[in-house]
Amino acid sequence: MNLLFAFDQNYVKQFLCTFRSVLYHHSKNISLTIFILYLDTTKDNQKNVIQLQTDLENLRKIKSFDDNIILFDHQRVTNFPIKVNDHVSLATYIRLFITQYLPDNVDKIIYLDSDLIIRTSLHVLWEKDLKDNYLAAVSQGRKNPEQFYRHYYNFKGFTRDKFIIFNAGVLVINLKLWRKDKLLDKFIPFIKDNHKHLRFHDQDVLNCLCMDKWLKLNWKWNYYLNIKHSPDQRINDSKIIHYNSSDKPWNSDYTNDAKKYWTKYWKEYPSEKK
């Protein structure tokens, strides 16, 4: 099973928390390889990579896994649109480049944001048959996406009247098809052509260019906390919890009851200790 994480130097602790929750539920009988696309704009980036490797070595006390840390060239995204008040950084765009940074023999991968808590084994998700789709994801859950995402109508070449949007925090990606159809060659021009209209960053890019080629996953695989769920969609039944708003559980002023799920993995897990 292959997992992908992409983050910058400000999200290392958050990644470690999310990955702890993955390992806690992962079966020892299933091989696990993680790829980390790491963006670090500091002068100590090499030192920070070494520290990240040390952190991963400590996590191997929980479960065995193979890792690949790839230092991402921040110049690739320097001119991409981001606002001062956005709760994400330029690192959000990293995942658009995965076909260029990951080995050619990796045909499929699960991408995970670093503000998730995993509550079950991901093997069922890994076994999902993507067929001829670019990816599998959970829909964004808006009753009228054409209204909430009205900025889509400003995108060059966008002609849809009705559409469904997916949340990009949990993705099962068909890398083989991404390479075959050269999606990266489409992502970059799309950003350039629609620079001033992008509101949800790479999620807008992925949705527009994968709109008719994505497989809908059950809501349990990405229970995001910034919308009102139906009564039958309870957090205790979720498989993955996504803290996807600007209000984050590692902040001292976070008051949502969902903080308890994050706190369980936030610091060193018992099995990591000597």
**Domain covering 2-272 in this structure, CATH number:** 3.90.550.10
pTM metric for this prediction? 0.95
Q: 225 with 244: CB under 8 angstroms? A: yes
Q: Tens digit of pLDDT per residue, the chain (274 long)? A: 999 999 999 999 999 999 999 999 999 999 999 999 999 988 888 999 999 999 999 999 999 999 999 999 888 888 888 776 766 788 899 999 999 999 999 999 999 999 999 999 999 999 999 999 999 999 987 778 888 899 999 999 899 999 999 999 999 999 999 999 999 999 999 999 999 999 999 999 999 999 999 999 999 999 998 777 778 889 999 999 999 888 899 999 998 899 999 999 998 777 787 5
Phi, then psi, of 190 in degrees rounded to 5: -60, -45
Domain coordinates in residue numbering, the chain = 2-272
Among residues 158, 168, 248, 242, the alpha carbon closest in space to that of 202 is found at 168
Q: Identify the burial level of 254 via C-beta atoms within 10 angstroms of its C-beta, where 0-12 means exposed, 13-18 middle and 19 or more buried.
A: middle
Phi, then psi, of 159 in degrees rounded to 5: -125, 10
